[in-house]
């Protein structure tokens, strides 16, 4: 029997109490799609909030129906007997503000015009993203979370949460993340965005009523992104120079090598589930993220943090290298906080946190166990 979960929806901001964004602009209606696993205990002390990464959504674990082939994106981490044990913890995951999987984003209808926002959607930041999640937690009746956790952009949300709402968490898990995006990471995102905005079908972001959508741009962006998520070694082991099919006399400029066909496949499946404008807004929010926020040192910026934390990096992750994690660790240490850091051996690059690795699971299980006491 497959474990089933349902995506729920909640309006967290409306015209009576709009969401004030960092840019000074307002959103008069914000809806969040979210899922929960397990049960909230009587003392409301077993709640864990998960933040997803760029391409994730609220569907973190279990299946939506018995017919589904694939479970949620972090199913190996969440469920009975898994690190985020749904027999012990009440686990929550919401689609981010700006997303396209049920939460308010550029593809949502602007209540003022009755049409999708497109690029009239205001710019959003990581700080903006966590505000609706905070509302959701309050709505669920939770004052203090046992733990927050996130990888990559999810880790940025966790970091910002630990600074913005220090009293609301006991523990925090920062996985494969960074206090700011490196120039290299911004560069890759920038090429991805350029692919979308230079697609003639993008139409300055107002393509929702058009039969032509900037899917070639989005596909290209995803293909570039996907390269940055993989480890050099795992890519070499998986594909090497293997050919996709027998090469005939005509040159095939896109699908000769297996790695090419793999990227094509990844790109094609991504465009079926993701909105190009969401990709633009979210990658912008990631690139703009700056945990320093005007402070001279990271330790100063992290001054409000109280939570016990576990910072994890992966040895082959070159997009969010361990040096970035160590900056966080160093700052937390200087602030005399209870922090643990582990650099987990893995060949799978940045994507390692989305791969079922025993050592990764051991670390998370141990951290949560220690948090309970």
Residues known to be catalytic: 152, 317, 350
Residue count, binding to other proteins (CB under 8 A): 25
Q: Look at the block and give the residue holding tokens 């309970």.
A: 372
Half-sphere CA count of 290, side-chain side, radius 13 A: 10
> Residue 181 has which token pair?
């995006």
- Position among 68, 252, 323, 345 found at the interface with other proteins (CB under 8 A): 345
Does the footprint of other proteins cover residue 365 (CB under 8 A)?
yes
The whole-angstrom distance between residue 177's C-alpha and the CA centroid of its chain comes to 10
**Least distance to other proteins from the beta carbon of 58, Å?**
28
Does the footprint of other proteins cover residue 123 (CB under 8 A)?
no
**Least distance to other proteins from the beta carbon of 346, Å?**
10
**Least distance to other proteins from the beta carbon of 331, Å?**
10
Give the three-class secondary structure for 350: helix
- Position among 84, 270, 281, 367 found at the interface with other proteins (CB under 8 A): 367
- Position among 254, 343, 348, 355 found at the interface with other proteins (CB under 8 A): 343
Q: Are the beta carbons of 173 and 149 closer than 8 angstroms?
A: yes
Does the footprint of other proteins cover residue 329 (CB under 8 A)?
yes
Does the footprint of other proteins cover residue 248 (CB under 8 A)?
no
Strands 169-175 and 145-151: parallel
Give the three-class secondary structure for 356: coil
The piece of 14-22, 117-125, 126-134, 331-339 that touches other proteins (CB under 8 A) is 331-339
Nearer to other proteins, 64 or 330 (CB): 330
**Least distance to other proteins from the beta carbon of 349, Å?**
17
**Least distance to other proteins from the beta carbon of 340, Å?**
5
Does the footprint of other proteins cover residue 338 (CB under 8 A)?
yes
How far, CA to CA in Å, does 364 sit from each of 167, 223, 320, 354, 368? 22, 30, 19, 13, 6
Does the footprint of other proteins cover residue 334 (CB under 8 A)?
yes
Does the footprint of other proteins cover residue 133 (CB under 8 A)?
no
Sign of CA dihedral 239, 240, 241, 246: negative
Does the footprint of other proteins cover residue 246 (CB under 8 A)?
no
Question: For 3, phi and psi rounded to 5 degrees?
Answer: -75, 130
- Position among 154, 341, 354, 357 found at the interface with other proteins (CB under 8 A): 341
Could you give the CA distance from residue 173 to residue 256 in angstroms, rounded to a whole number? 41
Nearest C-alpha neighbor of 355 from the set 327, 326, 317: 317
The piece of 36-44, 58-66, 274-282, 356-364 that touches other proteins (CB under 8 A) is 356-364
Does the footprint of other proteins cover residue 373 (CB under 8 A)?
yes
Could you give the CA distance from residue 38 to residue 260 in angstroms, rounded to a whole number? 41
The whole-angstrom distance between residue 296's C-alpha and the CA centroid of its chain comes to 27
**Least distance to other proteins from the beta carbon of 308, Å?**
8
The piece of 185-193, 233-241, 247-255, 328-336 that touches other proteins (CB under 8 A) is 328-336
- Position among 29, 64, 134, 333 found at the interface with other proteins (CB under 8 A): 333
Residues 265-324 that bind other proteins (CB under 8 A): 310
Alpha helices of the chain — where are they, by DSSP H? 126-139, 153-164, 183-197, 215-229, 232-238, 258-271, 276-288, 298-301, 322-334, 358-372
**Chain residues that interact with other proteins, rule: CB under 8 A:** 310, 326, 329-330, 333-334, 336, 338-345, 359, 362-363, 365-367, 369-371, 373
């Amino acid at each position: 029997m497959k474990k089933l979960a349902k995506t729920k929806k909640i309006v967290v901001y409306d015209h009576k109490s709009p969401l004030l964004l960092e840019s000074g602009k307002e959103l008069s209606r914000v809806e969040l799609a979210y899922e929960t696993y397990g049960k909230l205990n009587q003392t409301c002390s077993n709640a864990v909030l998960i933040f997803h990464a760029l391409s994730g959504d609220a569907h973190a674990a279990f299946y939506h129906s018995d017919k589904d082939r694939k479970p949620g994106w972090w199913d190996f981490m969440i469920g009975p007997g898994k690190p985020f044990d749904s027999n012990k913890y009440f686990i929550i995951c919401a689609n981010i503000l700006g997303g396209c999987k049920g939460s308010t984003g550029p593809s949502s209808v602007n209540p003022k015009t009755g049409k999708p926002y497109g690029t009239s959607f205001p710019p959003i930041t990581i700080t903006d993203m966590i505000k609706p999640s905070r509302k959701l937690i309050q709505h669920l009746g939770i004052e203090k979370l046992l733990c927050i956790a996130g990888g990559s952009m999810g880790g940025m949300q966790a970091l910002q949460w630990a600074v913005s709402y220090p009293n609301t968490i006991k523990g925090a898990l920062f996985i494969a993340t960074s206090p700011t995006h490196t120039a290299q990471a911004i560069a890759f995102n920038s090429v991805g965005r350029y692919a979308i905005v230079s697609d003639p079908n993008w139409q300055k972001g107002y393509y929702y009523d058009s039969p032509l959508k900037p899917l070639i741009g989005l596909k290209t962006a995803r293909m570039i992104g996907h390269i940055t998520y993989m480890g050099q070694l795992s890519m070499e082991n998986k594909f090497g120079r293997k050919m996709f099919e027998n090469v005939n006399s005509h040159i095939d400029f896109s699908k000769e090598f297996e790695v090419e066909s793999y990227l094509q496949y990844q790109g094609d499946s991504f465009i079926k589930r993701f909105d190009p404008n969401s990709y633009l807004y979210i990658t912008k929010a990631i690139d703009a993220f700056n945990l320093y926020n005007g402070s001279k040192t990271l330790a100063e910026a992290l001054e409000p943090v109280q939570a016990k934390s576990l910072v994890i990096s992966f040895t082959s992750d070159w997009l969010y290298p361990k040096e970035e994690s160590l900056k966080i660790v160093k700052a937390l240490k200087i602030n005399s906080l209870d922090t643990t850091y582990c650099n987990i051996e893995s060949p799978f690059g940045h994507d390692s946190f989305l791969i079922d690795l025993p050592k990764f699971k051991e670390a998370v299980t141990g951290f949560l166990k220690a948090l309970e006491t």
